[in-house]
Structure 1
């Protein structure tokens, strides 16, 4: 029988700073003496979307787990409104209006500074996966290993992203509208969970609502904030320059980001390994937790490539 995680497994919220931006983060109380592992979340999502059960398994694999809210997400700083009204229009914009993808990569480094971590393993999910790839490019000395899940290549943007995104799902996502109330946040969270789940599994409506009620995340329907995140442009080197042990995870049934995106990342980062997760959508279902934790543990055991730092 799988051990039961503690009821309150996270330490107090703390803050890192990158210029005017304050970034909320916290640490998992189990496995505090393990190897540092920083988790980066997806578009609009706060840090609570990463399942506690997965973090419990990662701690059991020898990791000290921390997670943070991206800028414009969760408790971190939200920037002023821009012209883009929804993620779909921001995707096709020629340039980001609020900040760059480099700024978001620097956010992760700022969180590591606040944690006192000279370096860490990185796990980035969805938008967080693209951010993690960029951290490995911009701050390679801070990255022990890179795991990117359900992400597009971190060096593509705008129209080049279209080949990897299921535009029908993105359009549905962009059309979601809910009142700016706690009840609206719950309904938005449930709708997003339903939209991003594997179409080859029955969606558990009761569990989905319970999860949305535990984490009433207003970021699920804050399209302005999502637009600023998705509009952040990358100006650095291509992902083929990543020189860290890399694992690429992707749901075989992902209804938002095509598995072709995972294949593209794995083919372009030297030595990267691709793992397609069966019956997994753009999500972290419990059925995948043990496999994900074991894969990340195995990656941490990979010797560094010649010339790499650990």
Structure 2
């Protein structure tokens, strides 16, 4: 597919002592769209072709590395947090102390907008990025034109509304039966990837990352494994921060629930979730949409916790319908 979108090479900006890497696609005078990636993934996981499709459709598309990943600042001096202990403290209502929270990561996002001279932007966040986007819209509503919360949740731990159906999933797990795990967060199959150390050699990391992709994609549209391996190699070559993902997860755990605050959110919001998501169950996406006044909800039936090419058509159609400003110019899928 030919594209007219101009690429703006990677630059750096700072939020205090934290340096943030970012790049962009398209016309800087177009509508700004800030993409926020999720846990353990770099900005290049927002596929270049997807960024160019969005840019060709009238957006100035910006992506960046969250702290503790890729080419942004690593906080390795902080060491590896004890995630099970932090989860236990959170469940018991005890304070959870970590190097940073989602609010700090939202300030990193604002630093990118400030570096580009942008007073506000449309914001789309995936997974942890959706949580950062929610925090951004809640704390700095004047900076967020619209919000797309993609495969994300209002809280990492389920509330009583989500707990209602958990018995069946736990029963399926114990009995070894097949299940979509629509309430357990995450599916038990994901735990080894979240809690075990990440391999630091290139081939080990590639195998780990492809395995993680397959696991979180679940029963969603099939992945292109060759492309997944190439992408994993690119991630490794950009820079592997061994304990960064654990600190990001700790930052999520240390952040207060947004369940109550989202009820007062006035930012126009679209919630998109995969029906087959084994990492953040679809019920949590539904809960996000229920909490935010006037939020639209789109559930993509053949999507897990990933964005393979086969789901792009439905994804882009949903975005086009949501962003009224783009309604007159359809998205064109890549070849």
Q: Give the TM-score band, short-chain normalised.
A: 0.7 to 0.9
| Map of 1:76 onto structure 2 | 72
- 1:214 lines up with 2:223 in the alignment: no
- Check conservation: 1:253, 1:280, Cα contact below 8 A: yes
- Check conservation: 1:40, 1:67, Cα contact below 8 A: yes
- 1:22 lines up with 2:44 in the alignment: no
- 1:43-54 mapped onto 2 (5 Å cutoff): 43-54=39-50
| Map of 1:59 onto structure 2 | 55
Hey, what's the Cα distance between the residues in 2 that align with 1:293 and 1:99? 33
TM-score (norm 2): 0.79
Hey, what's the Cα distance between the residues in 2 that align with 1:296 and 1:201? 19
- Check conservation: 2:68, 2:245, Cα contact below 8 A: no
| SS state at 2:123 partner | strand
Aligned length: 295
Hey, what's the Cα distance between the residues in 2 that align with 1:101 and 1:178? 22
Hey, what's the Cα distance between the residues in 2 that align with 1:276 and 1:235? 23
Hey, what's the Cα distance between the residues in 1 that align with 2:68 and 2:146? 26
| Map of 1:174 onto structure 2 | 194
Hey, what's the Cα distance between the residues in 2 that align with 1:57 and 1:89? 43
| SS state at 1:215 partner | helix
Distance 1:222 1:187, change over 3 A: farther
Larger radius of gyration: 2
- 1:265-304 mapped onto 2 (5 Å cutoff): 265-301=288-324
The structural deviation recorded for 1:177 is 4.1
- 1:238 lines up with 2:246 in the alignment: no
Q: Cα RMSD over matched residues?
A: 2.7
1:76-104 CA distance string (max 9 Å, x none) = 11223256234x55444431311122211
The structural deviation recorded for 1:200 is 4.6
Distance 1:202 1:301, change over 3 A: closer
| SS state at 2:305 partner | coil
Unaligned runs of 5+ in 1: 303-310
- 1:38 lines up with 2:38 in the alignment: no
- Check conservation: 1:178, 1:185, Cα contact below 8 A: yes
Distance 1:200 1:142, change over 3 A: closer
Unaligned runs of 5+ in 2: 91-95, 164-182, 326-335
The structural deviation recorded for 1:159 is 6.7
TM-score (norm 1): 0.85
The structural deviation recorded for 1:184 is 3.0
Hey, what's the Cα distance between the residues in 2 that align with 1:203 and 1:55? 19
| Map of 2:147 onto structure 1 | 146
Distance 1:231 1:219, change over 3 A: farther
The structural deviation recorded for 1:9 is 6.2
Distance 1:225 1:75, change over 3 A: farther
- Check conservation: 2:199, 2:208, Cα contact below 8 A: no
- 1:190 lines up with 2:210 in the alignment: yes
- Check conservation: 1:57, 1:293, Cα contact below 8 A: no
- Check conservation: 1:39, 1:124, Cα contact below 8 A: yes
Distance 1:112 1:209, change over 3 A: same
1:201-238 CA distance string (max 9 Å, x none) = 44443332233223326358755434444334137761
1:15-71 CA distance string (max 9 Å, x none) = 22212111111111x344320000000001110111112112211221110001111
